[in-house]
Each structure stands twice: as C-alpha cells, then as structure tokens.
Structure 1
C-alpha cells in the first residue's frame, strides 16, 4: 500500500481559478483529467514526485452526483465551501481491504480530452462522508497513472490532519502508517478546524522550499 493522491474540492464555477492558484503555488501545471461519468464529477490533476499527484475535483449537475458515494462526498464538500476532501492509498490487490469492509470495490473510469482512458477500483468512499480524516483505497487497472502527466517538481512532505484519535476509527492504521515513508503527519485537534475532522493542510517541498496549501 502507498499514498497515491490527495483530493481537493472546488465548485464547478471556481475550479479553473483553484487550478490556476494551486498550480502557480507548486510550480506545476495541472492537466484536464476529464469527467467521471459514473460519479458525476470531473477533475484536474498535477503530477508530484514519488509517483503521487494532486487532484482538484468538482461536482457536476448530473444524476450520478447524488446517486454515488463519491459524487455525494464531492458535492457536500463543494456546498460547504470546498477544500481538502480526502487522501487516497493505492494497492496492487484490494482483496484484503474488501474483506474488512465486507463488500466489493466499485469500478471507476474516466476519459481524458485526448481520448486516453483510466480505469481503477475503489473502496471506502462511503466511510469518508462525514469522516474526512479517513482515507479511501484504490487499485489502478491501467498503467497511465496521473503522476506521469507532465513534469514533477513538488513532493508531499507533510499532512496536517484534524483528528484527536489519530485514525482510531480505521481498520488500517498500521498499513497507513507504514505506507507514509517520507511524509510527516501532524495531528491537530478538530477544535482548531471549526470542529471538523479531516485534512487541514498539505505541505509540499518545491525546489527546497516549503509550500503550505490550506
């Protein structure tokens, strides 16, 4: 298991501004990742070092947005003003994770504007709704990982997460901690984050400088 990407939510009207702002801050160009037709969302992605990436995602005016857990989570966050949604870990085999959740992973796919298609399986999205400190899990079924899109100059160095129980509600505490080689976790109290659990900020190292994205 490894840290794969981190998701930030913007509204449909503001996503272009957010993409430009964060891209400028981390000196990295985002690419249009296309629409997730199954989830009623769309995203832009920026490649990072260590095979990771940042995703900025927005809800669409689409029936799937309200019908799927990921669409619901993105829409709820957008309606609350946007910001960091979740962190995502990838695995080459989700069987053990599926067993603990007691259900099969859902299929996901999106087609980029250039026609290339990405496919994956994901699980744990239901659990992040209202519990932003928890990650969900993904298994890529195609090789064109978003970390390969463009030039990577930034790397994730720290995550600031509001959760006074430090993932006590997760079945995967040990796996998550062992997967965070080189990434520091700073735990803060939810009271410092308007009472909400979840990602407060992401710190990236860009050309030996620290950039904090709130």
Structure 2
C-alpha cells in the first residue's frame, strides 16, 4: 500500500477552535498555515498548508465573523472536543466518470453539490464535491472533489510540509477496503478504533497528527 493515497486532494483537520489549532500546528512544525477563506452561510473558515504536489491540508473550524448558520456546521465541528483528522478528499481526472465507476463497483459516493469560498484577496473559488451525507460513516472513505476552472489551492504559494504518510485504523479494515478500491484509491489500514492520521516532514522533523 502506498504511504500517500492515490488521487489525494486534501486532508481535513477539523477543530472547534481554529485559532488554537493553527497556533498548535505552527508550534509543532515550525510552519504557519495561511488563511484560506470563509465558507459563506456554513459558519466555517479554514487555514491551509501544502503537502507537496497538488495535495494540501485544510484546517477547518468555526468562523467567529459569520452568524450562527441555519444548519449544523460541516464535519460536525460543533460536536468536537478537540482537533481531529476527520476525513479526506480525492480529485479524480473526471468526477462524473469516477462516480459512475464507483457505483458500478458497489459504492455510491452520493450526489454532487456546488461549493464556494472567498479567499483573503477577494477571489471566489468554486468547486463541486460529492455529498458527505452519503459518505462512509467512518470518514475513512474520501469524498470526491472537482475544482473545475478555479485555481487549485496549492497554486497560491502555500507553505509546504511534505506529506510522508497517511494511515488509519478501523474495526473491520476489509469493510473499508471495498469502497476505497471502488474509488481507485487506498489507505494503509490496520485493525482498531476508527481513526485517521498523517505524518508530515517539517523543520522540526517528522510530526504526526491524528
């Protein structure tokens, strides 16, 4: 199994306190994540770090500058006791074809929805992704994303902590392998409670986040 999953677009490190988690990442790695932007009407915003190539880390948490959203914030950040790597995304060459293939192989990633966020320089990024409500409940099976004509986050000069490894545990790893294979990707999986972790290379040496 590859140490880095094929087609990886980004990892999602969700947190109930964005500022504190960004500060902790900077202290542990020696690299400061940069503001990515706000997600209108969802009540969240993010900070980003490149992981090498076209992959990045999204640190996502509540946006204190937005009003309380009508629906629960994405990724259940309101229920988190602390920062946690919750899930990840892949970017296949063609979104619709990847969904069709996955369904033919027995896994339905769900319908596609448009999303957007405004970057600090005022640019609006637009993308499409599969519905997280249909995703595997463990978070270990990625959602799919297509950036279309928008500038990919890694093209904006992000600070980089090269990704060394992504690994996970699950009570039944074989049950997760099937959906991963249907999507054309994979994870290093061992038996244990549901968890997702990654290790990056930093000026302070390798650092692992769970």
Q: Same fold (TM over 0.5)?
A: yes
Moved more, 116-125 or 29-38: 29-38
1:75 aligns with 2:71: no
Alignment counterpart, residue 202 of structure 1, candidates 191, 198, 201: 198
Quote how far apart the aligned CAs of 1:208 are.
Answer: 9.4
Residues 94-121 of structure 1, C-alpha deviation per residue, up to 9 Å, x if partnerless? 1134332385310010001210111110
Aligned to 2:46: 43
Paired with 2:155 and 2:69, the residues of 1 have a C-alpha distance of: 31
Quick one: structure 1 residues 58 and 208, their matched pair in 2 at CA, closer, same or farther if it must change by over 3 Å? closer
1:58 aligns with 2:58: no
Paired with 1:4 and 1:123, the residues of 2 have a C-alpha distance of: 13
Quote how far apart the aligned CAs of 1:33 are.
Answer: 1.5
Paired with 1:112 and 1:123, the residues of 2 have a C-alpha distance of: 22
Paired with 1:123 and 1:189, the residues of 2 have a C-alpha distance of: 27
3-state SS, counterpart of residue 133 of structure 2: helix
Q: What is the root-mean-square deviation of aligned Cα atoms in Å?
A: 2.7
3-state SS, counterpart of residue 23 of structure 2: helix
**Higher RCO structure, 1 or 2 (CA under 8 Å, sep 6+):** 2
1:33 aligns with 2:36: yes
Quick one: structure 1 residues 64 and 28, their matched pair in 2 at CA, closer, same or farther if it must change by over 3 Å? farther
Alignment counterpart, residue 12 of structure 2, candidates 2, 7, 21: 7
Residues 124-164 of structure 1, C-alpha deviation per residue, up to 9 Å, x if partnerless? 41144732222111011234222233354421111121124
Alignment counterpart, residue 130 of structure 1, candidates 131, 137, 143: 137
State TM-score, norm by structure 2.
Answer: 0.78
Aligned residues: 194
State TM-score, norm by structure 1.
Answer: 0.77
Paired with 2:159 and 2:98, the residues of 1 have a C-alpha distance of: 30
3-state SS, counterpart of residue 48 of structure 1: strand
Q: Any gaps of 5 or more consecutive residues in structure 1?
A: 178-184
Quote how far apart the aligned CAs of 1:53 are.
Answer: 0.9
